[in-house]
Chain A
Amino acid sequence: MDKFFYLLSEGYRSLWRAKLSTFSSITTIGVTLSFVGFGAMATSNLARLANESRSDFTMEVFFTQLTTDSEAQKIMNEIISMDRVREGILITKQEAAEIFQKEFGENIYDLLDDNPLPTSCVIKLEESGLEPTEMEPVAKAIEAMDRVEKVSYPAEAITLIENYFQGMLSVVALISMAILMGTTVLVSNTIRLTIYSRKDLIRILKLVGATDRFVKIPFIVEGIIVGISGGVLASILTYLFIRTANSFLMLFTPYQLIWDWRVIILLVLVVALFSILGSRKAVNKLLT
């Protein structure tokens, strides 16, 4: 047990002894990985945006002026029986007038003698297995029905978001992969330099009878501490990026980036793993 605690404290004390090199390792890892963090956060938020837009599989059907509520109900039932249509909600002329008053604060009968708002219905489509672009044939079929004046649906906006999402996802994934690969090399080189600077320690330990495991453990402990600290620094920088980006976004759109803890935990774990592997590799090279 004494040996175990000695090795743990050796790892910690070695970092403290080489304060400057420890600081530069953590900073290098933290700053570089914060770029991966930005990429991961951007991807995660884009995915959320795309999912939200995907769930909006609704369309509004407006009937002609002379269509009565009961006729509209009949047509809506026909629409509901169509393939891929999940449900429908009828909005009568009277309900449309009430919605108008709620939204604009004016009674339509006070403004005009008659209620010009048409009877309409909101149609919700099945979501599973349906692409937003596939809404078009359904809308066309409804539009062709008697007494239907207009069908309104957000297909264009959805398609736009989808296309942007796929494009952005590919770009962000490519950049993140490149940064991650660069980071791997950087982390392992930083750790290797730190270890090489202490090759005297390794040689002396071997001379006084230390086993390979005894030599390796403090370096691996160091790798874990440096890795986790670098990961935490990367998380802090990513958090600051999200905050700054949100204050910027606020000027143009109500949409705000959301902080995803899973991304951060993954980031810290990945860095710690790289650091451990980097330490092991570097010590093994010196031991052979």
Chain B
Amino acid sequence: MIRFRNATFSFKGSAGVSDATFAVEEGEFICIIGPTGAGKTTLLRMIYMDAIPQEGSVEVAGFSSDKIRSKQVALLRRKVGMVFQDFELLDDRSVFENVALPLHVIGMSREEVHSKVDGVLDKLGLTEKSHHLPRQLSGGEQQIVSLARAIVKDPIVVLADEPTGNLDPAASFKILKLLEAIQKSGTAVLMATHNYNLVKDRNYRFFEIIKGQVRISSG
């Protein structure tokens, strides 16, 4: 499903990713650990083709970085759910509208959008907050909204870049459990974190990244 072949992406002032070769299969849970600035975010950006490798290639859901055109990048991103440390929610839109955004992009009908969004919000326990604005929610709740937006389009993989970075331990653990539930439902999850203590006891596949070098190990 995701294949890195000697992929390198480097830029000034950061380690980037150097000569990475690995594969991620459907329904896997990968935890990418490493210190700040080691290249975790760059690795995830290479998956959603925001960073096209200068050497080697990355293949995701049949789209190869060698041949992908800008219009196809949009199509690829419709298959990839993303969660960020700072939530990346639209402040002037309700929880419902934020979660519905990827479905409008796909061009779903209003009825389908309502049914899908209501379903996801119900699953994640956000139904009562659906008309709230992000600023009316706690950090943990905002991250759950971000997760809801990532999974509402039934992606093949969810990329979570430091999803617990701005959260307290209790909220962090809740997010972790939700990501595990997503993985159990068949969606692959790649989570980047610098907080090794949070994940060290979990049964994940670990990728350690230091100064752009990816080392694969089991949990």
Q: CB within 8 Å of B: which residues of A?
A: 2-3, 6, 17, 200-201, 203-212, 214
**Closest CB-CB distance, A159 to chain B, in whole Å?**
64
Is B101's CB within 8 Å of the partner chain A? yes
State whether B108 touches A209 (Cβ < 8 A): no
Q: Which residues of A contact B48 (CB under 8 A)?
A: 207
**Closest CB-CB distance, B10 to chain A, in whole Å?**
22
In the assembled complex, the Cα of A59 lies from the Cα of B108 at a distance in Å of 78
Interface size class of B (residues with CB under 8 A): 20 to 34
Interface 0/1 of B115-148, CB less than 8 Å to A: 0000000000000000000000000000000000
Interface 0/1 of B65-87, CB less than 8 Å to A: 00000110011111000100000
In the assembled complex, the Cα of A45 lies from the Cα of B177 at a distance in Å of 76
State whether A214 touches B109 (Cβ < 8 A): no
Decide: A3 near B107, CB < 8 A? Known: A208-B102, A212-B70.
yes
State whether B110 touches A208 (Cβ < 8 A): no
Interface of B is mostly: helix
Q: CB within 8 Å of A: which residues of B?
A: 48, 70-71, 74-78, 82, 88-90, 92, 101-102, 104-110, 149, 153
**Closest CB-CB distance, B102 to chain A, in whole Å?**
4
Decide: A2 near B107, CB < 8 A? Known: A204-B88, A209-B74.
yes
In the assembled complex, the Cα of A244 lies from the Cα of B149 at a distance in Å of 57
Decide: A200 near B90, CB < 8 A? Known: A2-B108, A210-B105.
yes
Q: Which residues of A contact B102 (CB under 8 A)?
A: 208-209
State whether B105 touches A201 (Cβ < 8 A): no
Q: A2-B108, A207-B88, A212-B70 are in contact. List 7 more A-B contacts (CB 8 A).
A: A3-B107, A204-B90, A207-B82, A209-B74, A209-B75, A209-B106, A212-B71
| Chain A residue at smallest Cβ distance from B82 | A207
State whether B77 touches A208 (Cβ < 8 A): yes
The 5 closest A-B CB pairs, nearest first, are: A209-B78, A209-B77, A3-B107, A208-B102, A211-B74
